[in-house]
Amino acid sequence: MKIVNSNEKLTKLEKVGVILRPSTPELKNYFFKIKEIFEAEGIEVLIDSISAGMINVYGVDFDFMCKESDVLVAIGGDGTLISLTRRSYKYNKPILGINVGKLGFLTDINPNEIALFIKKLKNGEYRIDLRMIIEAKINDKEIFSFNDVVINRKVLSRMVNIQAMINNEVFNTYYGDGLIISTPTGSTAYNLSANGPVVFPLTEAFIITPICPHSLTQRPLVLPVDFEIEFKIDDKIGAEVIVDGQEIFNLSPNDTISIKLAKRKVQLIHRIERNYFDVLREKLGWGGKA
């Protein structure tokens, strides 16, 4: 396991592509304000057609937007940014999150800070964090996950049986409500709710956390990304896989899902002064008075 530091900078900043949190037409005013600020700095703004339709403006195809843009911008909350990282992964574009949500673990720029931050972007006063992403294969279907892959029971009244292998060698059998395979970025999401460990987000590691295991000896496990991990559904009913809490896939009995480190990292743009441990203290209430 290691920490991945980056000295990367943008090669150019002439055009940005914007997506908005779905089903939130009230973001229209935010979009126009942010668009005006970018354009005042000579930066063209594209918006994907789905977001555009929501606020009744002209938009472009998502893939075209990703190809044409130097930076992608998510306006919403962490979920909006997570969705964008996954959908745009193949285009390898830096992503900026503007927080109009509640939590803001990943989207650390507020709308009232965007004008100043764009000037800092143009002056090179920012940093790009490289976050690992999971490449998973469900049978023959390839998917990517920024936060976590959750193998879940299909039926509320039954537990699920999952056989786990590392490099083709069986290392455990999990029996319970399910299993979370998380990235360090996702360690503060569902993994944390299931009593999994918090792992520094620039670390390269897989976190495997059982959900309500039948045996109290089953504990969270942190593994190096050098391993390829495979899970087999050893269950008569099957299971379901939930990717980043946003996409669902059904698994039949004896289906497998393999997990490995994706070849490229996700590039997240942040303020230089952003400190992860300050974020933990603020969001999780660490160090507060009892």
Where exactly does CATH 3.40.50.10330 map onto the chain? 15-132+265-284
Q: What's the pLDDT tens digit per position in 114-130? A: 999 999 999 999 999 99
Residue 289: per-residue pLDDT: 53
User: Using only C-alpha atoms, what is the Rg of the chain?
Assistant: 20
Judge whether 78 counts as a catalytic residue. yes
108's tokens: 């650390």
218's tokens: 């089953």
Residue 42: per-residue pLDDT: 95
Q: What is the mean pLDDT of residues 101-117?
A: 85
Per-residue pLDDT at 290 exceeds 50: no
CA dihedral of residues 166, 88, 270, 74 (deg, nearest 10): -130
Where exactly does CATH 2.60.200.30 map onto the chain? 134-261
Q: How far apart are CA 256 and CA 136, in angstroms?
A: 10
Residue 246: per-residue pLDDT: 95
Q: What does 62-131 look like in DSSP terms, one character per residue?
A: HHHHHHH-SEEEEEE-HHHHHHHHHHTGGG---EEEEE-SS--SS--B-GGGHHHHHHHHHTT--EEEEE
Per-residue pLDDT at 104 exceeds 80: no
CATH number 3.40.50.920 given to 15-132+265-284 = no
Give Cβ neighbours of residue 241 (< 8 Å, ≥ 6 apart). 136, 138, 149, 150, 151, 152, 248, 249, 250, 251, 257
- Point out the catalytic residue in the list 63, 70, 78, 177: 78
Q: What's the pLDDT tens digit per position in 238-253? A: 999 999 999 999 999 9
- Provide, for the chain, the percentages of residues in helix, strand and coil under a 3-state DSSP scheme, each rounded to the nearest 5: 25, 35, 40
Class of domain 134-261: mainly beta
